[in-house]
Amino acid sequence: MATLSVTDRGAGVVLSTAQTGNADSTNTAERGQFSGRSGAIVVTSTVGATPTVTVNILGSVDGTNFFNLPYALVATPSTFVVAAITITTAVATTYLLQVDQPWRYVKLNYSANTNVTCTATAFV
């Protein structure tokens, strides 16, 4: 697993590419100088038979101790939650990250994965 520094907010940082199984995303993004700003994570899934995966968006101040970050859907951009995300279909969804939250590092955790492949990019 690698920690990738954000150098250009518009370019994004790939957290995972065609990742399967139950684990943290392949990469962790470090937003460094961009701390305190809003951000977004785009998760794209492809699925097989009886698909399901649980995804948690995790943040950390120190890169060691992670906690669930508040996120909102594009359709309800002011309604932030910290609940786990359950994916059961092939989708591409943007999750908006709340501004002024105390985190420098962001990653995803995939669990309870059955026949789902995820690709995710962080724009932080």
pLDDT of residue 2: 77
The DSSP secondary-structure symbol of 93 reads E
What pLDDT does 96 receive?
A: 98
Tell me what pLDDT residue 7 has: 59
Domains, the chain, ordered by start: 14-123 (2.60.120.1110)
Position 38 scores a pLDDT of 83
Q: Residue 75: is its pLDDT beyond 90?
A: yes
Percent of the chain's residues with pLDDT above 90: 79
pTM over 0.75: yes
d(CA 108, CA 8): 20
The pLDDT of residue 40: 95
Closest CA to 106 of 8, 26, 17, 31: 31
Percent of the chain with pLDDT over 70: 90
Would the pLDDT of 90 be above 70? yes
The pLDDT tens digits of the residues spanning 10-38 come to: 678 999 999 999 999 999 999 876 667 78
Q: Determine the Cα–Cα distance for residues 122 and 39; give it in Å rounded to an integer.
A: 8
Read out DSSP for 17-68? EEE-SSEE-SEEEE-GGGTTS-EEEEEEEEEEEEEEEEEEEEEESSSSSEEE
